[in-house]
Each structure stands twice: as C-alpha cells, then as structure tokens.
Amino acid sequence: QKEVEQDPGPLSVPEGAIVSLNCTYSNSAFQYFMWYRQYSRKGPELLMYTYSSGNKEDGRFTAQVDKSSKYISLFIRDSQPSDSATYLCAMSFQGGSEKLVFGKGMKLTVNP
C-alpha cells in the first residue's frame, strides 16, 4: 500500500461545476498537507497548504484535512476551463527534510 493514495481519474466536468478532489493516507505522522496543480509538461505549482486538521479557503479553492480519517480534500467552486490540469496532493512530516510525499495526481478537464 502506498503512503498516499489518490484516484488518478480522469475527471471531466462542465464549466461552473463544483469539483471535489480527494486523497487518503496511511501514515498518521504526516502534519502538513498540500495541493499542487500541474499543467502538461510543466512543474507543479503550489496551490494551498494546511497544517494538521481543519479548513483553508483561498478564492475559489477550499482545502480540508481530516486527520482522524486520514483524508484530505480540495474543492474548486465555479470551475473554469483554465482549471484543467493534473492536481496532486502532497504531504510532509514535521521536522527533518520536510520532503514531500505525493499522490499519483488526478487529471481534471473542465469543459466550456
């Protein structure tokens, strides 16, 4: 079992839809949780990060962490065609190198 599981999709939605992306993890020692967006043949771009449990909102994006269930989510409201990309969840332990452990990534297409 991989430390971080993410359904790779693909997911296709109409413009304006609410998108829900999720990851589960097995190691309860993870403390920091991130979401990255990656366009084709580009490097990942940091969207949001959250420490421990709770919610964080930034514009149309909301990140949620439920440490008791080892489950994290990213919601995108009023999705736009420009949101079409691969979304990667990533996690990190506190201390040490803080290296990131990534999920596989979910490919999202928002259709106009």
Partner 1 sequence: DTGVSQDPRHKITKRGQNVTFRCDPISEHNRLYWYRQTLGQGPEFLTYFQNEAQLEKSRLLSDRFSAERPKGSFSTLEIQRTEQGDSAMYLCASSSDRGLYEQYFGPGTRLTVT
Binding of residue 44 to partner 1 (CB under 8 A): yes
* Burial class of residue 38, CB neighbours in 10 A (0-12, 13-18, 19+): middle
Distance in Å, CB of 92 to partner 1, minimum:
6
Contacts (Cβ under 8 Å, ≥6 apart) of 23: 4, 5, 6, 71, 72, 73, 89, 103
Binding of residue 6 to partner 1 (CB under 8 A): yes
Tokens of 71: 């489950």
Tokens of 74: 């990213």
Binding of residue 99 to partner 1 (CB under 8 A): yes
Binding of residue 98 to partner 1 (CB under 8 A): yes
Among 1, 28, 40, 41, binds partner 1 (CB under 8 A): 41
Binding of residue 10 to partner 1 (CB under 8 A): no
Among 19, 25, 30, 34, binds partner 1 (CB under 8 A): 34
Rg (CA), the chain: 13
> Residues in the site for partner 1, rule: CB under 8 A?
4, 6, 8, 32, 34, 36, 41-46, 49, 51, 88, 90, 92, 96-105
